[in-house]
Amino acid sequence: MRGWLKALGFAAAVTLAACGPKAPEDSAPQAGGTLRIYNWSDYIDPALLAQFTKETGIKVTYDTFDSNEVLETKVLQGNTGYDLVVPSNHNVPRYITAGAIAPLDKSQLPGLDKLSSATMLHMAPFDPGAKYAVPYMQGTIGIGYNEDAVAKRLPGVKVDSWAVVFDPANLAKLKDCGVYFLDASEDMYAVALNYLGKDPNSKLAADYKAATALLMKARPYVRKFHSSEYIEALANGDICVAVGYSGDVLQARSRAAEAKNKVKIAYAVPKEGSQVWFDVFTIPRDAPNPTAAHRFMAFMLRPEIIAKASNFTEYANANAAATALVDEALRNDPNVYPTRELSDRLFVTTTKDQALLRDVNRQWTKVLTGR
């Protein structure tokens, strides 16, 4: 779902850079009109879109992307023609600063009060006053692993600590069966800083140096840094450990179960804590039909609707009133709906300024390439 197919993203961006902004085909907001959504691929139940159109008479055009980077590159060029885009929480401040998204008209969003206060607290640093974004789905970063393969190599070790993937002693034993890390610098630095007991949102260069040193020690044991390949690789039994996104690991688990290949995949959010992220609905400043976008947000704020959405994506939503309506298996899975105790260990990452971002990415390149 959050598969980051960079290849496609790259191609898309190149096309974009070459062609410049595309004007929407019909931009006049008519009665009913059209709603243009730009969302992660495989991230909404198509039946819900049909239902929305049926209820409102608004046609939906639905395009998908595979990475925040592609989304941001496109939106920051302006003139996307989209009415609703779905960035992740830590990018929202950049959109706000750039003036790329418009404030919400809360009078058009009657269901806002149903959002869980815990989630809104997490969102506060990104969108103070909840002026710009409505949370859609949320997930965590953790360790996905092949239960049998890891048990064989680390007998008696419980996979409940980042040490499993950051301690070279453990990694050395896991190397032969395959370790994947995410190729996402901000996410990886956040969990590494957290593991080292530092502020995951640290602004201190020394902290990042320490994290780089940690990652550099781990890198010889890492088969590949990639943000989506691990789904397939875990499911097939090609690798045994991956630092990944909760929904993706759960997807790998389902695929392995479907394939009946005796591969048992598990997901753990380590006890040191981890990052929680949100994908949020926002409206580009130049949206042709913001009214329709508000109508859609209001629709998705209805508990019975967002519950169906969660059943499809297998991610938790932020709607407190909807939890009871979500499939039991999902709502009772602590990997999807974290327990209160787990929830307390989750943190969010904030936006870095350009200089720090560049520096962190440069260090990340060093981790990736070894130079």
Partner 1 sequence: MRRGRVGLAAILPFLWLALFFAFPFLLVTKLSLSHTVLAIPPYAPQLDLSQGLAGLKVFLDGLDTTTYARLAQDRLYLDAYLSSLRIAAMAAVLLLLIGYPIAYGISRCPPGLRLALVMAVILPFWTSFLIRIYAWIAILKPAGILNAALAGLGLPPVDILNTETAVLLGLVYAYLPFMVLPLYAVLDRQDESLIEAAQDLGATPLAAFWRVTFPLSLPGAAAGALLCFIPMAGEFVIPDLLGGSETLMLGRVIWTEFFANRDWPAASAVAIVLLATLAVPILLFEREQGKVLS
Q: Round to whole Å and give the CA distance between 43 and 85.
A: 12
Q: Residue 264 CB: number of other CB atoms within 10 A?
A: 15
- Which has the closest alpha carbon to 68: 44, 104, 95, 48? 95
Query: Does position 282 bind partner 1 by CB under 8 A?
Result: no
Task: Decide whether 34 or 67 has the Cβ nearer to partner 1.
Answer: 67
Kindly tell me which residue out of 2, 36, 219, 294 binds partner 1, with binding defined by CB under 8 A. 219
What is the residue whose two structure tokens read 């990944």? Answer: 244
Query: Does position 307 bind partner 1 by CB under 8 A?
Result: no
Task: Decide whether 63 or 272 has the Cβ nearer to partner 1.
Answer: 63
Task: Decide whether 111 or 284 has the Cβ nearer to partner 1.
Answer: 284
Tell the smallest beta-carbon distance from residue 40 to partner 1 (Å).
16
Would you give the binding string for partner 1 spanning residues 166-195, x where CB under 8 A is met? ------------x----x-x----------
* Residue partners of 340: CB distance under 8 A and separation at least 6: none
Query: Does position 88 bind partner 1 by CB under 8 A?
Result: no
Task: Decide whether 240 or 322 has the Cβ nearer to partner 1.
Answer: 240
Task: Decide whether 14 or 124 has the Cβ nearer to partner 1.
Answer: 14
Tell the smallest beta-carbon distance from residue 166 to partner 1 (Å).
17
- Which has the closest alpha carbon to 181: 195, 201, 166? 166
Number of residues that bind partner 1 (CB under 8 A): 45
Would you give the binding string for partner 1 spanning residues 6-25, x where CB under 8 A is met? xxxxx--x----x-------
Kindly tell me which residue out of 87, 237, 247, 290 binds partner 1, with binding defined by CB under 8 A. 237
Kindly tell me which residue out of 42, 63, 69, 333 binds partner 1, with binding defined by CB under 8 A. 69
∠ CA 52-54-60 to the nearest 5 degrees? 50
Query: Does position 358 bind partner 1 by CB under 8 A?
Result: yes
Query: Does position 217 bind partner 1 by CB under 8 A?
Result: no
Kindly tell me which residue out of 46, 57, 78, 110 binds partner 1, with binding defined by CB under 8 A. 78
Kindly tell me which residue out of 98, 121, 257, 329 binds partner 1, with binding defined by CB under 8 A. 98
Tell the smallest beta-carbon distance from residue 272 to partner 1 (Å).
24
Q: Round to whole Å and give the CA distance between 260 and 333.
A: 21
Q: Round to whole Å and give the CA distance between 101 and 84.
A: 10
Query: Does position 103 bind partner 1 by CB under 8 A?
Result: no
Kindly tell me which residue out of 45, 63, 167, 238 binds partner 1, with binding defined by CB under 8 A. 238
Query: Does position 45 bind partner 1 by CB under 8 A?
Result: no
Task: Decide whether 340 or 371 has the Cβ nearer to partner 1.
Answer: 371
Q: Round to whole Å and give the CA distance between 110 and 145.
A: 42
Look up residue 305 and give its DSSP letter. Answer: H
Q: Round to whole Å and give the CA distance between 369 and 250.
A: 29
- Please list the alpha-helical segments (H only) found in the chain: 6-19, 46-56, 68-75, 92-98, 117-123, 147-153, 163-166, 168-174, 185-195, 205-218, 229-236, 246-259, 290-300, 303-313, 328-331, 340-343, 354-369
Q: Round to whole Å and give the CA distance between 143 and 158.
A: 12
Q: Round to whole Å and give the CA distance between 35 and 84.
A: 8
DSSP string over 138-169: EEEEEEEEEHHHHHHHSTT--S-STHHHH-HH
Q: Which spans of this chain sit near partner 1 (rule: CB under 8 A)?
A: 6-10, 13, 18, 67, 69-70, 72-73, 76-78, 94, 97-100, 178, 183, 185, 219, 222-225, 233, 236-238, 354, 357-358, 361-362, 364-371
